[in-house]
Structure 1
Amino acid sequence: MTPRQWFRRTAPDLRCTARRFRNTAPARTGTASYRSALRTPGAAAFFLAAAPARVGVAMAGLGIVWLVHAETGSFGVAGLVTGSFAVAETLVGPQTARLMDRFGQPRVLVPLLCAHAAAITALVALALTGAPTVPLMAAGLAAGATIPQIGALSAARWSALLHGRAELTPAFALETISNDAAFLLGPALAVLTATQVHPAAGTVLAGALVVGAGLAFAALRRTAPEPAATPAPDRTAARGPGALSTRNFATLLAVNLALGVFFGSMQVSVSAFADVHHAAAAAGFLYGLMSAASLLAGLAYGRHRRHTPPAAQLPLILAFLACASLLPLLADAPWQLGLALLLPGAGVAPCIIASSTLVESVMDRSVLTQAFTWTNSASAAGIAVSAAAVGRLVDGPGGTQAGFTVPFVALTATAALTWSSRHTLTTSTKASTQLPSETDATVAAPLTDHHVESDRGTGQG
Structure 2
Amino acid sequence: MPQHLPYPVLLRSQGASFVALGFLGRLPTGILPLSLLLYTQHALGSFALAGLATAALSLGGAAGAVLVGHLSDQYGHRVVGLVATVVQTAAIAAFLTWCRPDVPLAVACGLAALIGFANPQLGAMARARWSQVAAGRPDRVAFTASAMAWEGAVDEVSFVVGPVLATTLSAVAPPLPLLTALALAWVGQVGFALHRSALPALRHGRLRHAESADRIDWTVLVPLGIAVGGVGVLFGGTQTSVAAYFTERGEAAVAGLVYGALAVGSAATGLLSNRIPARFPLAARIVVFGFGCALTSPLLIVAWDAPSMALACLLIGVMVGPTLVTGYAYAERISPPERLSTVMTMLSTVGVVGVAIGAALAGQVVESHSAQTAAWIATVGGLLAGVAGVAIPRRR
TM-score by length of 1: 0.76
Give the paired residue count: 387
Preserved CA contact (<8 Å) 1:262 1:407: yes
Rounded to whole Å, the distance in 2 between the matches of 1:279 and 1:317 is 32
Deviations 1:72-113 (A, max 9, x none): 676555444333222222221111122111211001111210
The answer to whether residue 9 in structure 2 is matched with residue 27 in structure 1 is no
Q: Note the C-alpha offset of 1:389.
A: 4.2
Q: 1:280 pairs with 252, 262, 280, which one?
A: 252
Rounded to whole Å, the distance in 1 between the matches of 2:130 and 2:118 is 23
The answer to whether residue 216 in structure 2 is matched with residue 214 in structure 1 is no
Rounded to whole Å, the distance in 2 between the matches of 1:113 and 1:81 is 20
Q: Note the C-alpha offset of 1:49.
A: 0.8
1:419 is matched with: 390
**3-state SS of 2:203 partner:** coil
Aligned residue runs from structure 1 range 110-259, under 5 A: 110-127=82-99, 129=101, 134-163=106-135, 164-194=140-170, 196-220=171-195, 222-229=196-203, 243-244=215-216, 246-259=218-231
**3-state SS of 2:317 partner:** helix
1:39 is matched with: 12
Rounded to whole Å, the distance in 2 between the matches of 1:419 and 1:85 is 33
1:398 is matched with: 369
**3-state SS of 1:305 partner:** coil
Mark the CA change 1:318 to 1:36 in structure 2 (over 3 Å): closer, same or farther.
Answer: same
1:93 is matched with: 65
Q: Note the C-alpha offset of 1:378.
A: 1.0
Consecutive unaligned residues in structure 2, runs of 5 or more: 206-211
Rounded to whole Å, the distance in 2 between the matches of 1:162 and 1:324 is 35
Mark the CA change 1:75 to 1:382 in structure 2 (over 3 Å): closer, same or farther.
Answer: farther
Q: 1:289 pairs with 252, 261, 267, which one?
A: 261
1:62 is matched with: 34
Question: Which has the greater radius of gyration?
Answer: 1
Consecutive unaligned residues in structure 1, runs of 5 or more: 1-25, 232-239, 431-461
Mark the CA change 1:301 to 1:103 in structure 2 (over 3 Å): closer, same or farther.
Answer: same
Q: Which amino acid aligns with 2:198?
A: A
Rounded to whole Å, the distance in 2 between the matches of 1:124 and 1:325 is 39
1:444 is matched with: none
Rounded to whole Å, the distance in 1 between the matches of 2:249 and 2:83 is 43
Preserved CA contact (<8 Å) 1:124 1:200: yes
Aligned residue runs from structure 1 range 364-443, under 5 A: 364-394=336-366, 396-423=367-394, 427=395, 430=396
Preserved CA contact (<8 Å) 1:76 1:388: no
Q: Note the C-alpha offset of 1:261.
A: 2.0
Rounded to whole Å, the distance in 1 between the matches of 2:245 and 2:293 is 21
Q: Note the C-alpha offset of 1:241.
A: 5.9
Mark the CA change 1:347 to 1:37 in structure 2 (over 3 Å): closer, same or farther.
Answer: same
Mark the CA change 1:310 to 1:104 in structure 2 (over 3 Å): closer, same or farther.
Answer: same
Identity %: 24
Rounded to whole Å, the distance in 1 between the matches of 2:102 and 2:376 is 33
Rounded to whole Å, the distance in 2 between the matches of 1:386 and 1:273 is 16
Mark the CA change 1:69 to 1:399 in structure 2 (over 3 Å): closer, same or farther.
Answer: farther
Q: Which amino acid aligns with 2:379?
A: F
**3-state SS of 1:229 partner:** helix
Mark the CA change 1:141 to 1:387 in structure 2 (over 3 Å): closer, same or farther.
Answer: farther
Preserved CA contact (<8 Å) 2:298 2:379: yes
Deviations 1:405-438 (A, max 9, x none): 2222132123112213241xxx2xx5xxxxxxxx
2:209 is matched with: none
Q: Which amino acid aligns with 1:327?
A: L
Q: Which amino acid aligns with 1:198?
A: A
Q: Note the C-alpha offset of 1:227.
A: 1.7
Mark the CA change 1:54 to 1:273 in structure 2 (over 3 Å): closer, same or farther.
Answer: farther
